[in-house]
């Protein structure tokens, strides 16, 4: 494996800053996808798939003979958040920002593509630039795309930068590594009435008040335990902001979070049963949004990443507990690949993900690109020059 040159790192850094200026949110990543496609073609990809599961892009770099397919995944989307910074390359789109680091994830994968000018000895490498990770819809849509069988990998790798951990540290964990989560939207419909005669209506107020206490009480255990469950109330609305109307409708939003998919199914059933128990004379609708499966890292894939990181003298962190936050990479592992999501330190004092002043550390670009290029070598080898 040839490490990225300083010139290549400078090119990738400039491209990240370009992407950072023009963030696009989940499902709207059209221009970002076009820019990535342009780069992949210029880097000599053997095949490019466009519009995968939306605006997704994938590129193949083929070896000389048959062998495994090794996929590396990153994300195209930014966040519907306003960036607060003095950066020369800060977001130019109001209310939109690359405040999770997906701009850096993308160029890290393009760094892997630069190294693939020397093709693998066998098999093929797929670089997947996935849409709509932030709302949990992207990986599912890509896998449901009719072209996915052409791409389906034997091994799959991805990473996320992690503020609060030392810069460049490689976090590893076998088994459950990111929580399953889903958003529960509860719509309660009764009948409004004059505020002077509330008995003439059917108010959801009492049911909502009970649910606002009962749903969070479904939480149990601690992260790392099989029974871990967390129900977080995120939104509540009762009627309209008036003084003359007794409310006739209400809405609650709750995020459910568990370490395993099986526990999530159980928690979702418990939450739905609870809502029905407090509905009384109300009409109730429950909708599920932002559905993420758990990420469960494969032993063999994680072991390969560990060995490569050690060979490159990276500091390792064997993670004792999974992350509470969710990542839809779990669907790719759940589709049959030996998959591993790595956690790369962004700095102990770095602003946290989704903060308005967050920015991806450029120093991680060559670290991750070289690490994943090493994974290519370990699984597929390299053709001779």
* pLDDT given at position 383: 86
The answer to whether 302 and 155 are in contact (CB under 8 A) is no
Banded model confidence at residue 295, pLDDT cuts 50, 70, 90: very high
Instruction: Please list the helix, strand and coil fractions of the chain in percent, rounded to the nearest 5, in that order.
Output: 30, 30, 40
- Beta-bridge partners for 120: 382
The answer to whether 299 and 174 are in contact (CB under 8 A) is yes
* Paired sense of beta strands 155-162 and 65-75, if any: parallel
Mean pLDDT of the chain: 97
Decide if pLDDT at 31 tops 70.
Answer: yes
Banded model confidence at residue 385, pLDDT cuts 50, 70, 90: low
Hey, what are 261's tokens?
């998919």
Q: Could you tell me if residue 78 is left (phi over 0), alpha (psi between -120 and 50 degrees) or otherwise beta?
A: beta
* 106 φ, ψ (degrees, to nearest 5): -60, -50
Read off the pLDDT of each residue in 192-214 and give the average, rounded to a whole number: 96
CA separation for the pair 169, 84 (Å, rounded) = 27
Classified as helix, coil or strand, 33 is helix
The answer to whether 323 and 315 are in contact (CB under 8 A) is no
Banded model confidence at residue 2, pLDDT cuts 50, 70, 90: confident
pLDDT tens per residue, range 132-176: 999 999 999 999 999 999 999 999 999 999 999 999 999 999 999
DSSP classification of residue 323: B
CA distances from 306 to 61, 67, 223, 324, 375 (A): 24, 22, 24, 22, 10
Read off the pLDDT of each residue in 202-228 and give the average, rounded to a whole number: 95
Decide if pLDDT at 100 tops 70.
Answer: yes
Q: Which domains does the chain have, with CATH numbers?
A: 6-177+294-380 (3.40.630.10), 180-292 (3.30.70.360)
User: How crowded is residue 194: how many other Cβ atoms within 10 Å of its Cβ?
Assistant: 11
CA separation for the pair 212, 208 (Å, rounded) = 6
Secondary structure E strands in 222-315: 229-238, 245-246, 249-258, 283-292, 295-297
Decide if pLDDT at 384 tops 80.
Answer: no
Q: Which of 291, 261, 109 is nearest to 175 (CA)?
A: 261
Classified as helix, coil or strand, 361 is coil
The answer to whether 298 and 333 are in contact (CB under 8 A) is yes
Banded model confidence at residue 4, pLDDT cuts 50, 70, 90: very high
- Beta-bridge partners for 55: none
Question: By CB neighbour count within 10 A (0-12 exposed, 13-18 middle, 19+ buried), where does 3 fall?
Answer: middle
CA separation for the pair 148, 153 (Å, rounded) = 9
* pLDDT given at position 279: 78
* pLDDT given at position 289: 96
* pLDDT given at position 366: 98
pLDDT tens per residue, range 43-86: 999 999 999 999 999 999 999 999 999 999 999 999 999 999 99
Classified as helix, coil or strand, 54 is coil
Q: Is the dihedral of CA 310, 376, 372, 173 positive or negative?
A: negative
pLDDT tens per residue, range 112-141: 999 999 999 999 999 999 999 999 999 999
Give the pTM.
Answer: 0.95
Query: Element (H or E) spanning 267, and its range?
Result: helix 261-277
* pLDDT given at position 80: 97
pLDDT tens per residue, range 300-351: 999 999 999 999 999 999 999 999 999 999 999 999 999 999 999 999 999 9
* pLDDT given at position 278: 85
């Amino acid at each position: 494996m040839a490490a990225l040159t300083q010139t290549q790192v400078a090119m990738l850094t400039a491209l990240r800053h370009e992407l950072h200026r023009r963030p696009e949110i989940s499902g709207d990543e059209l221009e970002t996808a076009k820019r990535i496609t342009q780069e992949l073609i210029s880097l000599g990809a053997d095949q490019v798939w466009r519009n995968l599961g939306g605006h997704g892009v994938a590129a193949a770099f083929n070896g000389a003979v048959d062998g495994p397919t090794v996929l590396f995944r990153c994300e195209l989307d930014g966040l519907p958040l306003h960036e607060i910074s003095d950066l020369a390359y800060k977001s130019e789109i109001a209310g939109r920002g690359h405040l999770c680091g997906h701009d850096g994830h993308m160029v890290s994968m393009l760094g892997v593509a630069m190294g693939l000018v020397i093709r693998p000895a066998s098999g093929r490498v797929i670089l997947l630039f996935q849409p709509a990770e932030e709302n949990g819809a992207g990986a599912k849509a890509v896998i449901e795309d009719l072209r996915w069988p052409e791409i389906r990998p034997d091994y799959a790798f991805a990473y996320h930068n992690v503020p609060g951990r030392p810069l460049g540290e490689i976090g590893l964990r076998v088994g459950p590594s990111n929580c399953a989560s889903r958003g529960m939207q509860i719509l309660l419909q009764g009948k409004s009435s004059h505020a002077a005669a509330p008995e003439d209506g059917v108010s959801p107020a009492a049911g909502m008040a009970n649910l606002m206490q009962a749903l969070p009480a479904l939480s149990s255990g601690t992260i790392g335990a099989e029974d871990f469950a967390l129900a977080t109330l995120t939104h509540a609305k009762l009627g309209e902001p008036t003084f003359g109307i007794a409310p006739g409708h209400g809405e609650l939003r709750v995020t459910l979070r568990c370490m395993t998919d099986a526990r999530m199914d159980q928690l979702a059933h418990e939450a739905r049963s609870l809502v029905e128990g407090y509905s009384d004379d109300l009409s109730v609708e429950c909708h599920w949004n932002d559905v993420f499966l758990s990420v469960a890292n494969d032993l063999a894939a994680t072991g390969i990443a560990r060995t490569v990181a050690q060979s490159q003298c990276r500091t390792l962190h064997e993670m004792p507990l999974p992350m509470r936050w969710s990542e839809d990479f779990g669907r790719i592992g759940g589709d049959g690949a030996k998959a591993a999501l790595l956690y790369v330190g962004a700095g102990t004092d770095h602003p946290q993900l989704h903060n308005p002043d967050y920015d991806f550390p450029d120093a991680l670009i060559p670290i991750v690109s070289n690490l994943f290029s090493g994974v290519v070598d370990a699984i597929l080898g390299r053709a001779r020059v």
